Structure 1
Amino acid sequence: MKIAEVSKKFDISSDTLRYYERIGLLPHVSRNKSGIRDYTEEDCKWIEFVKCMRSAGLPIEVLIEYVGLFQQGDETIEARKELLIEQRNELKRKMEETKKILQRLDYKIDSYEHALLEKEKRLKRF
């Protein structure tokens, strides 16, 4: 698959795909005899993984470390697992923090709704 097709499929710019490749987030992407990137299904799985992890807030540095460990082979399975556990725990912490923020926003919105209702009642009395 050409870079434009992959870009469209995953809604990622071609520049971002090239950047991910340059910094090591994507294991070696093969090229055809003309030098044009030719993404395989395996490459697409990596892109999907990276996109998912980035949308969850994982730092690029962590993903680069993960890919590097992956490329070292099965002797790094435990290290990869630990890295993912750490990131899951961090994501859970952020979710709890976001939940508290959401609750505070809901409280403020509710208090404004209550204030508006009270204002409406006062205006109807006159």
Structure 2
Amino acid sequence: MKQYDIEFVSQEVNISKSKLRYYEKHGLIKNIERDDQNNRVYNEQNIELIKLIACLRRLNVPIRKIKQNIDVNHFNDESLEGILLEHKRVLREKVEEYNAYISEIDGKLERAGVKEV
């Protein structure tokens, strides 16, 4: 099985090495092997999990929620689908909230006679 160092994984997934260590410390990434110099050594499965974690974090899924799913079942398709659907719903609510703010600002600007450029 091919193995990768932390530098490669950091660049491949586009997250910092410190964030990788943080994820490991908080139990999101488990069973990371070590080489003879005690450096972390990642495999393909680790990298795929890290990519998933990074994606979920970009969606603002809390680390606690990600960890719960990793602890329970290492993200089967059903649990992942549920998490993604829930966060899609939350993001849509945020979009509606921001659109309401924009409309409110537009109304104030219009009343003030300000025209957008």
Q: After TM superposition, is the score higher than 0.5?
A: yes
Q: Where does 1:1-126 land on structure 2 (aligned, <5 Å)?
A: 1-71=4-74, 82-105=82-105, 107=106, 111=110, 115=114
CA deviations on 1:6-29 (whole Å, 9 max, x unpaired) are 112222211110010110112322
Q: Which runs of 4+ in 1 moved over 6 A?
A: none
Aligned residues: 113
Could you tell me the percent identity over the aligned residues?
25
Shift of 1:40: 1.4
Gaps of 5+ in 2: none
User: Which has the larger displacement, 30-39 or 79-88?
Assistant: 79-88
- Counterpart residue type for residue 21 of structure 1: E
Q: 1:112 to 1:6 in 2, by over 3 A?
A: farther
Q: 1:108 to 1:53 in 2, by over 3 A?
A: farther
Q: 1:113 to 1:46 in 2, by over 3 A?
A: farther
Q: 1:64 to 1:102 in 2, by over 3 A?
A: farther
Shift of 1:78: 5.7
SS at match of 1:12: coil
Q: 1:115 to 1:80 in 2, by over 3 A?
A: closer
State how far apart, in whole Å, the 1-side matches of 2:108 and 2:52 are.
37
Gaps of 5+ in 1: 118-126
Q: CA-atom RMSD, angstroms?
A: 3.0
Larger Rg: 1
With normalisation by structure 2, the TM-score equals 0.72
SS at match of 2:35: coil
Shift of 1:104: 3.8
- Counterpart residue type for residue 90 of structure 1: V
State how far apart, in whole Å, the 1-side matches of 2:108 and 2:11 are.
39
User: Which structure: greater helix fraction?
Assistant: 1
Q: 1:41 to 1:104 in 2, by over 3 A?
A: farther
